[in-house]
Amino acid sequence: MKRVHVLMIAALLLTGLSVAGIAETAVSVLDIDPGVQVIGLGGAGTALAQGAETLYYNSAGLSALPGISFSSFYASYLGSASYSSLALTFQNWGIGMLMFNASNIAGYNNDGDPTDALSYGNTALLLGFGINPKDLPFIPALPIDFSLGARIKYLSVNNGTVNGSGFSFDLAYRMTFSSIRIGPIGLSDMALGVTANNLFGGVNYDAHGESMAMSLRIGGAMKIADMILLTSDLDLGGGFHIGAAYSPVQTLTLRAGVLTQTGGMSITLGMGLNIQGFILDYAYITHPTLPGTHRVSLSIDFSGLDLSGFGRSLRSFLP
Series of mean pLDDT values for 10-residue runs along the chain (319 residues): 45 40 60 93 96 96 94 87 94 96 71 72 96 90 93 90 91 96 92 96 86 93 96 92 95 96 88 94 91 94 65 54
Strands 185-204 and 180-182: antiparallel
Radius of gyration of the chain (CA): 21
Q: What is the pLDDT of residue 306?
A: 56
What is the Cα–Cα distance from 22 to 190, expressed in whole angstroms?
38
The pTM score is 0.84
What is the Cα–Cα distance from 179 to 78, expressed in whole angstroms?
44
Please give, one letter per residue, the 3-state secondary structure of the chain.
CHHHHHHHHHHHHHCCCCCCCCCCECCCHHHCCCCCCCHHHCCCCCCCCCHHHHHHHCHHHHHHCCCCEEEEEEEEECCCEEEEEEEEEECCEEEEEEEEEEEEECCECCCCCECCCEEEEEEEEEEEEEECHHHCCCCCCCCCEEEEEEEEEEEEEEECCEEEEEEEEEEEEEEECCCEEECCEEEEEEEEEEEEEEEEEEEECCCCEEECCCEEEEEEEEEECCCEEEEEEEECCCCEEEEEEEEEECCEEEEEEEEEECCEEEEEEEEEEEECCEEEEEEEECCCCCCCEEEEEEEEEHHHCCHHHHHHHHHHHCC
Judge contact between 144 and 175, C-beta under 8 A: yes
Q: What is the pLDDT of residue 92?
A: 96
Q: What is the pLDDT of residue 130?
A: 97
Taking CA atoms, 46 is separated from 55, 111, 182, 193, in Å, by 10, 46, 25, 5
**Which residues does 256 contact at the CB level (< 8 Å), separation at least 6?**
40, 41, 42, 243, 244, 267, 268, 269, 270
Judge contact between 299 and 72, C-beta under 8 A: yes
What is the Cα–Cα distance from 53 to 46, expressed in whole angstroms?
11
Say which CATH topology domain 2-317 has.
Porin (2.40.160)
Report residue 226: phi and psi, to 5°.
Answer: 60, 20
Question: Looking only at Cα atoms, what is the longest distance across the chain?
Answer: 71
* Residue 136: Cβ-neighbour burial (10 angstroms; 0-12, 13-18, 19+): exposed
Judge contact between 106 and 131, C-beta under 8 A: no
Judge contact between 300 and 275, C-beta under 8 A: no
Q: What is the pLDDT of residue 304?
A: 66
Q: What is the pLDDT of residue 26?
A: 57
Q: What is the pLDDT of residue 300?
A: 94
* Residue 164: Cβ-neighbour burial (10 angstroms; 0-12, 13-18, 19+): buried
What is the Cα–Cα distance from 275 to 296, expressed in whole angstroms?
16
